[in-house]
Structure 1
Amino acid sequence: MAYEIPVTQARAELADLINRVVYGGERVVVTRHGKPLVALVSAADLERLEELKPAEEQVISSVSGVHEAKAAPREHRRFGIAAEHRGASGS
């Protein structure tokens, strides 16, 4: 769980926040009006996040390459109108 702090307070405590992240292993989320604005993470965490990026892109390209399989003729008879309504688009 990340430590949250308002941006106005973060400005005043930046050096302490950096120490919490680097030496304490914490993650700090700076908020404005209660909404997340930025996050302070260690360089090691950032490096791990960057390493995940290519794997994520590979999953996305794999999923986008999946095509819908056509229903077998037997399924059309079995499910009747519902299968007929589904059609080739799968909706």
Structure 2
Amino acid sequence: MEKNISVGEAKATFSECIRKVEAGYAVLITRHGKPVAALVSPTDLEHLKRLRKAGPESGLASIAGGWENSEELASILNASPRQGQRNTPDLKN
């Protein structure tokens, strides 16, 4: 769930914004209607950090290991050979 508010509103209601985050919301802060920042839970921030660290090239194997007892999955994924490009259907027709 997400709540959008302006910078001014965030400044005026900061404690309320924190309570929203504690309740499971992400608070998107905008300036002139454009997103400039977000308040998220520490758990969401850790997930974002892990995904950024993995990068788009690393794939699923790079984020496996981020939860309890996932070492076996990570080793299976790391041992799996890549199969190259997938054949994608032509969606133009």
> What band does the TM-score fall into relative to the shorter chain?
0.5 to 0.7
2:49 maps to which residue? Answer: 50
Partner of 1:25: 24
Is there any run of 5+ residues in structure 2 with no aligned partner, and where? 60-93
| Structure richer in helix, relative to its length | 1
Identity %: 42
* Partner residue, 2:7: 7
Q: TM-score, normalised by structure 2?
A: 0.57
- With structure 1 as the length reference, what TM-score do the two structures score? 0.58
Q: How many residues were matched structurally?
A: 59
- CA deviation after TM superposition for structure 1 residue 56, in Å: 1.5
Secondary structure in 1 matching 2:29:
strand
In structure 2, the partner of 1:69 is none
Task: Structure 1: give runs of 5+ residues left out of the alignment.
Answer: 61-91
Q: List, as ranges, runs of 4+ consecutive aligned residues in structure 1 with deviation greater than 6 Å.
A: none
